[in-house]
Structure 1
């Protein structure tokens, strides 16, 4: 893994951290100004809808403008919007309509950038190093999430949202500068611009449908996204207070334990990269199965210390599954089409997570948080079993 990989990983990590700061700062400001949880919840909802729309139209823009040009100019456009937004922060803070209008535009540009950034990894490292590269990048991303979600609340109170927004802008500038060495890799031959925009719109979905391996991976990803909704903050807090009989501080302990396990999982995946690379499907299936079993045990448990242990163990299982799945997707999809496939994945993830959060909340209200975790674990177990059978059938047909 060369300098370009480290530049890309550092750039993406800074971009993720700036996004966390931005989201948490704006949520805090909206709640502080309105004293309404409903208003504060509108921003994440708007952001999700904007990312969904951006994911739908990203393939068309990629074909028309090329990925390299989009990655060069869209971040600068987003940075310009953020600078104007921050410079006029007090105005937007006093006018909610203008505030949400600005947030829509900023969220749309962020939605275009994400699938393009994800598709770059196969350009940076050889195919036989993808597992190590994905797991190493995952370690950095998990550490960024821990730092971002742990300290942003304190930073907002200490230095204020206005100055924190300027720090966000500085982080985006640094992220862009770190990404500059990667630009030469994106200077590929100009492809023919498609006159039929509907074909560009359908490309990612067509690849997912026609490629059996990618289709099965997408099925697993959607299923795990649906099950992943059981880990939203409200459900975890309800489980801690009603089932583990602990105070709110254990809510933080549970989250910290999971992220600690995720970092350990990233290190483990990097260490085992040569073995995982040779048996990607096996490790993906094993990680999914172990994660499902641990979730089921977690749902049946009432001991706080055991809950922490289980959350730590879930991290490596999920990370090995995720790294294996990312690597298979990257090797099975042509590099030129990868951003389109990620865009389609992005849309499916947004829809599945949004819907599942709604239904998970209803189930938790009626049957309790414990039943939600149990159903989530069983759902992943069944889906991983179906996927394993599909892969076995596909392997048998190919042989």
Structure 2
């Protein structure tokens, strides 16, 4: 973890992630001030998910033809140029078309759709494989710390300055991220893959890799269930839960989110402190915390005590982090460098699609029935995922022969 390239990766990705949060906060502030339309605001996360889904679907074409570093750098450069154009439009009032403005959300998310799997697949190339758990824990701590402080800081900056100013700050963060990513040195040699048939075969390549490998398929069935179940944590459902069930004002939505991200940070710290124990028990960590998240989600949905909801949410964050690190480590230690980015691209597409569709479904359920029914359904789905993990436990074996280089 002393690798300079690893430092460039995590610092650059942190700057990019913080910029992503700031620009969304700034843009929502601008859109709300000009339209006061909840529908327009809802377009922002929807278009973001749609962009990531489409990008994830076509990313195998790029992953076969370009090195991971090239994709990372070009994605960040393109995002920076787009944000610069958006800033010019907003500052100089070039157009007032909402459609033009929200189209930037889709395009930037589309560019992120291949940068995210490239970044995740780059990590195991830059650290020794015996430090993967520690590196994943560290990366997760940084990511959740950015999430924990980014939204609050973004809101504060919007209140002090303006949405346009926050987007200009994002532009500076994007520039720094781009510079740092250009300094990454990928030690894995790249071999361009030429398609002998139709490009549609390349588009299915990642899905075929996942489907044919029992470990990958088992993990992605669990991820699919969780993608649907985790919709209960979106703002539109939590807002209703806080108001109708807990009987608190909307500030408690912020407290609950903070509790979750704090739990994620604590989970990352726990994992980094007990790396050896964690690494030798990956299978049991995955199964145990899958059941734990299901039980905690059910308890959260049934509680009417505000302070207890914060405790439960914090525990969900801890459990979610530990389980996610276990799943990531399984993938990174088992997949080859050529397979890994395509596998992560499948995850990005799958989660984005299921999350977007499930958001509409769960939102309708919360409106038609008691909002608590959504948490009960979520807990059941998570429980099914945990039971499935138990039935497939024999497949949770790391085949380290797939890892082609030793350090």
> Is TM more than 0.5 here?
yes
CA 1:276 to 1:101, structure 2 compared with 1: closer, same or farther past 3 Å?
same
- Paired residue for 2:181, among 169, 174, 179? 179
Taking the TM superposition and a 5 Å limit, the aligned residue runs for 1:75-224 are: 75-89=76-90, 90-92=92-94, 94-185=96-187, 188-196=189-197, 197-224=199-226
Supply the distance in 2 between the matched residues of 1:56 and 1:203 (Cα, whole angstroms). 10
Work out whether residues 92 and 99 of structure 1, in 8 Å CA contact, stay in contact via their aligned partners in 2: no
Query: Shift in Å at residue 92 of structure 1?
Result: 4.9
Q: CA deviation at 1:152?
A: 1.2
Return the alpha-carbon distance in structure 1 between the equivalents of residues 187 and 179 of structure 2.
15
Partner residue of 2:241 out of 220, 239, 242: 239
Deviations 1:189-247 (A, max 9, x none): 43332243223211110111000000010011111111100111121122222212222
Question: How far apart are the structure 2 equivalents of 1:341 and 1:324?
Answer: 16
Answer yes or no: is the 8 Å Cα contact 1:244–1:302 preserved in 2.
yes
1:276 maps to which residue? Answer: 278
How far does residue 260 in structure 1 lie from its aligned partner after superposition? 1.4
SS at match of 1:227: helix
105-114 or 310-319: bigger deviation: 105-114
**Cα 1:182/1:394, change in 2 over 3 Å:** closer
How big is the shift at 1:394? 7.2
Equivalent position of 1:69 in the other structure: 70
* Runs of 4+ residues over 4 Å off in structure 1: none
What is the deviation of 1:393? 6.8
Bigger Cα displacement from structure 2, 217-226 vs 112-121 = 112-121
SS in 2 for 1:185: coil
Q: CA deviation at 1:366?
A: 2.5
Q: Distance in 2 between matches of 1:388 and 1:29?
A: 48
Map of 1:330 onto structure 2? 332
**1:354, distance to aligned residue in structure 2 (A):** 1.0
More helix by share: 1
Residues 55 and 114 in structure 2, CA contact (< 8 A), matched pair in contact too = yes
Contact 1:64 / 1:194 at 8 angstroms: preserved in 2? no
**Matched residue, 1:33:** 34
* Cα distance change, pair 335–259 in 1 and its aligned pair in 2 (3 A): same
Aligned-residue offset at 1:163: 1.9
How far 1:53 sits from its partner (Å)? 0.9
Q: Following the alignment from structure 1 to structure 2, what is the Cα–Cα distance between the partners of residues 383 and 282?
A: 14
* 1:88 counterpart SS class: helix
- Equivalent residues, number: 394
1:323 & 1:394 partners in 2: Cα distance? 14
2:366 aligns with 364
Does the CA-based 8 Å contact 2:286-2:327 persist in structure 1? yes
CA separation in 2, counterparts of 1:227 and 1:189? 38
Specify the SS of the correspondent of 2:204: helix
Gaps of 5+ in 2: 398-407
Work out whether residues 285 and 323 of structure 2, in 8 Å CA contact, stay in contact via their aligned partners in 1: yes
State whether residues 88 and 94 of structure 2, in contact with CA within 8 Å, keep that contact through their aligned partners in structure 1.
no
**Deviation at 1:345?**
0.8
Deviation by residue 1:281-333 (Cα, 9 ceiling, x = unmatched): 11111111111111112222222221111112222111110100011011121
Indicate conservation of the 8 Å contact 2:215/2:395, yes or no: no
Does 337-346 or 303-312 show the bigger shift?
Answer: 303-312
Report if aligned partners of 1:92, 1:98 keep a CA contact under 8 Å in 2. Answer: no
Over 3 Å counting, the alpha-carbon distance change for 1:309 and 1:22 in structure 2 is same
- CA-based RMSD of the aligned residues comes to 1.8
Give the secondary-structure state (helix, strand or coil) at the position aligned to 1:64: coil
1:40 and 1:259 mapped to 2: Cα distance? Answer: 23
Question: Where does structure 1 lack aligned partners over 5 or more consecutive residues?
Answer: none
Q: How high is the TM-score relative to the length of structure 2?
A: 0.92
Distance 1:93-1:48 versus aligned 2 partners, 3 A rule:
farther
Shift of the 336–61 alpha-carbon distance from structure 1 to 2, 3 Å rule, reads same
CA distance in 2, matches of 1:298, 1:173: 41
Alignment counterpart, residue 385 of structure 1, candidates 384, 387, 397: 387
Deviations 1:241-278 (A, max 9, x none): 22122222222221111111111111011112111111
* Cα distance change of structure 1 residues 135 and 92 upon mapping to structure 2, 3 Å threshold: farther
By how many angstroms is 1:343 displaced? 0.8
Work out whether residues 75 and 115 of structure 2, in 8 Å CA contact, stay in contact via their aligned partners in 1.
yes
Structure-1 residue corresponding to 2:57:
56
**Gap change, CA 1:261 and 1:100, over 3 Å in 2:** closer
- SS of the residue 2:93 aligns to: helix
